[in-house]
Amino acid sequence: MLALAGTYKIDGKTATIHVDASWNQSWTGTDLTRVFEIRGDRLEWKTFPFWSAFMGKQIISTTIWERVK
């Protein structure tokens, strides 16, 4: 699940979101920086590499949105 709200700034291929509200309360009040790429009707949103305690290794989380026609 992913849900957040806030303002954002774009710089090249990165977006920094100042999180005003989030499903994950540890994000609220912080800035999240993500790498993004737009290809046609798809937006790919990726984290920088981070350690996942659940997976037990370093991962990159990717969210993909596709425009509905």
Q: What is the pLDDT of residues 34-52, one digit of tens each?
A: 999 999 999 999 999 999 9
CB 35 within 8 A of CB 13: yes
Return the pLDDT at 31. Answer: 97
Task: Provide the residue ranges of all domains of the chain, joining segments of one domain with +.
Answer: 4-66
Instruction: Give pTM, 2 decimals.
Output: 0.75
Residue 29 sits at φ, ψ, to 5 deg, of 85, 0
Return the pLDDT at 13. Answer: 95
Print pLDDT tens along the chain (69 aa): 789 999 999 999 999 999 999 999 999 999 999 999 999 999 999 999 999 999 899 999 999 999 998
- The residues facing 6 across adjacent strands are 19
Alpha carbon 50 to chain centroid, angstroms? 13
